[in-house]
Amino acid sequence: MKNLALLRWPVTLFLPVILYLCSPVDVSPKFPLFVGMTSMAVLAWAFNVFPAIGVAALLSFAYLLGEVAPAEVVFGPWTTVLPWLSFAAVIIGEAMDRTGLARRLALRCLQLTGGSFSGLLWGFFLGGIALGIVLPSILARMVILCTIASGIIDALKIDPRSRMSSSIVLLAFMAAAAPQFMLLHTSESYIWAFTMLFKGTDITVNFWQYAWQSTLISMVYTVMSMYTVYLVKGKESLAGGGDVISFINQSCRELGPLRPVEIKLMVLVLGMVGGFMVQPWTGIDPVYIFCVLAMLCYLPGIDILDGESISKLGIMFLVFVTGCMAIGFVGGSVGFNAWAVRQVVPLLQGWGENMSIIMAYLAGVGVNFMLTPLAATAAFTPAIGELGQAMNMNPLPVFYAFGYGIDQYILPYEAVYFLYIFITGKVTLRHIIPALAVRALLCGVILVCIAIPWWKFVGIM
C-alpha cells in the first residue's frame, strides 16, 4: 500500500506529459496543452496529492500562463450564477443551523414515524424530503441529519463499529443526498447547469417542467436508496425503540417552542422556493431572488444572522467550484468539447437514444472515480449539450442519466458530503460498500424500466 502511495506523484506528473505528446494537434494549437494541464489536475484530485482548492486555483492560472485561453474565458465562471448561488446556499445553511429550524424539521419528521428501524428509515426519508425543499445545500443537509443519526447511536449505546451504527448513518446519508434530483432547486449544481447545457439555443427548463420530468423518478430513486440500507443492517435488530423515541422527544423539547427568528427564516425560505415556482410567469431569474433573500438574513429588523458571522463563512470552496467550471469553459474555447463529441457520436449513433442514456449513466459512474460530482457536472455539461445537438436529440435525458451516474459512490474521496459520514466515526466502509454497489445497479434498472418510459411519455425523448 505504501509503494502505491509513493507512485501517486510520478503518475500525476508524468502521465499528463504522455497525454500531451499523444494529443492531436489539428484540433487547435492549444489543444494538447489543455489536455495535459487538465489531466494533471484531474489526477491530482483523484490521488489527493495537493489540496483540492489549490489544484483548482493553479489550473486556472496555468491556463492563463500557458495562453490556453484568455482571462475572460478562464474566469468566465465567476460571471455565472453558480458561485453566488453557492454563497447564498452557505448563508441559508448557516441560518438554518443557528436558528435550529432545519433540525426542528428533521426531528419532527422522525417524531411522526416511531422508534423502529423501519420508522427511522421513513423518518429520515421525510426529513430528507423536507430539508431538500428548504435547503439546497447537500452538505448542509448531511451535517444536520448525520448529527441526529450520531445522537441516536449514542443514546442507544450502539457500538460505533457495528452494522447497526453504519446503517443508521447511511440512512442519514441517503436522506440528504438522494433527493437532490427531486426539484430544480434541491441541488446547487442543477440550477446553473441548464444554462450551460442549452448554451446557444433558446431552450429553457423551469421549475414546473423539471418537476414534471424528474420528481417522480427522483422519489422512486430515493425510496430505493433508503431500502438498500437493509443490506448493511443485516440480521442486527434495533434494540430500545422506546429510547429512540425518548431521544427524539427530548431533542424536540430542547429546541423549545417555535421562535420568531425561525418563523422569519421560514418566510424567507418559502420566498426562495416561490421564486422558482413563479419564474415561468414573472420571467425573473429565481437565483437572484434566492441570493437577495439570503442576504436579508443580515438586515436589521430581521436579524437572523449578525454581521460577525458573515466573516466566518467557509466560502473558499468557491475557488474550487469556479476552477472546475473553468475546465468546461476552456474546453469549449480550445475545441475539446466539440472534439469529444465527434469521438462519441459515431459510437452512439447506431445504438439509439435508449443506449445513449445507459452509456451516459455508466460514464457518470466512471467519471465519479476521478472527479467530484460538482467538477464532473461543470466539466461535462457543455459536451453533453453539444452531443445532443450533434445527434439531433434532446440532451436532457442524457444529462439526467449522467447526473444519476455521478451520484453513485464507493470510496470516501468521491464527494465531500460522502466523506463527511466517515468523520462521525460511526460508519465502516466495508459494511456499506455492498449496499452502495446494489444501489448503483438498481439505479440503472430504474433508468431503464421507469425513467426512459416516463421521459418518452412527457415528450423529451
Would you state the pLDDT for residue 288?
85
Same domain membership, residue 75 and residue 145: no
What pLDDT does 25 receive? 84
Q: Are residues 62 and 95 in the same domain?
A: no
Same domain, 146 and 49: no
**Residues 196 and 163 both lie in one domain:** yes
Residues 297 and 354 in one domain: no
Q: What is the mean pLDDT of residues 327-349?
A: 75
Which of 317, 307, 173, 292 lies closest to 232, judged by CA? 173
- Which ranges in 48-81 belong to alpha helices (H)? 52-65, 71-74
Q: How many domains does the chain have?
A: 2
Radius of gyration of the chain (CA): 22
List the alpha helices (DSSP H) in 178-313: 188-197, 207-227, 230-233, 241-255, 260-282, 286-295, 307-310
Residue 106 lies in a domain: yes
Note down the domain range covering 18: 2-79+316-408
Q: What integer is the mean pLDDT of 40-44?
A: 87
The grid coordinates listed for 435 are 449496499
Say what the pLDDT of residue 173 is. 94
pLDDT single digits (tens) 186-239: 876 676 677 677 765 666 788 899 999 999 999 999 999 999 999 998 887 776
Each residue's pLDDT tens digit, 408-426: 988 776 777 887 788 788 8
E strand residue ranges, 371-418: none
Query: Does a structural domain hold residue 36?
Result: yes
> Is residue 453 one of the residues assigned to a domain?
no
Instruction: Give pLDDT, residue 75.
Output: 93
Residue 123 reports pLDDT greater than 70: yes
* Residue linked to cell 463499529: 161
Residues 347 and 209 in one domain: no
Q: What mean pLDDT is predicted for residues 278-295?
A: 85
Backbone φ, ψ for residue 84 (5° rounding): -75, -35
Contact 264, 304 (CB under 8 A): yes
Kindly report the number of other CB atoms within 10 A of residue 6's CB atom.
8
Q: Do residues 344 and 360 share a domain?
A: yes
One domain for residues 237 and 304: yes
Q: Are residues 70 and 99 in the same domain?
A: no
**284 and 241 share a domain?**
yes
Based on the fold, state whether residues 259 and 345 are members of the same structural domain.
Answer: no
Q: Is residue 458 part of a domain?
A: no
Half-sphere exposure of 28 (CA within 13 A, CB side): 18
What confidence score (pLDDT) does residue 34 get? 93
Domain stop point among 264, 283, 310: 310
- Helix (H) or strand (E) holding 359, with range, is helix 352-367
Whether the model pTM is above 0.75: yes
Confidence band, pLDDT 50/70/90 cuts, at residue 348? low
From 383, 408, 433, the end of a domain falls on 408
b/e per residue 296-312 (b: at least 16 CB within 10 A): bbbeeeeebbeeeeeee
pLDDT-derived band of residue 440, with 50, 70 and 90 as boundaries?
Answer: very high
Contact 150, 424 (CB under 8 A): yes
User: 256, 290, 310 — which closes off a domain?
Assistant: 310
| Single-letter code of the amino acid located at 359 | M
Which amino acid is present at 258?
Answer: L
CB–CB of 382/337 below 8 Å?
A: yes
Residue 440 forms part of a structural domain: no
Q: Is 162 a domain residue?
A: yes
What integer pLDDT is reported at residue 98 of this predicted model?
86
Mean pLDDT of 363-383: 75
pLDDT of 32 reads 93
H helical segments located in 100-134: 101-113, 117-134
Helix axes 52-65, 317-334, angle to 10 degrees: 40
- Please report the pLDDT score of residue 182 as a whole number: 92
As to burial, measured by CB atoms within 10 angstroms (0-12 exposed, 13-18 middle, 19+ buried), residue 343 is exposed
The SS3 assignment for 283 reads coil
The stretch 81-94 carries a mean pLDDT of 80
247-265 pLDDT, tens digit each: 888 888 888 999 999 999 9
3-class secondary-structure state, position 137:
coil
Claim to verify: residue 242 and residue 113 sit in the same structural domain: yes
Angle of CA points 46, 79, 390, to nearest 5°: 70
- For residues 290 and 207, the answer to whether their CB atoms sit within 8 Å is no
Q: Cβ contacts of residue 348 below 8 Å, gap of 6+?
A: 355, 356, 359, 387, 391
Q: Looking at residues 120-131, what average pLDDT do you find?
A: 91
Residue 242's pLDDT band, with cuts at 50, 70 and 90, is: low
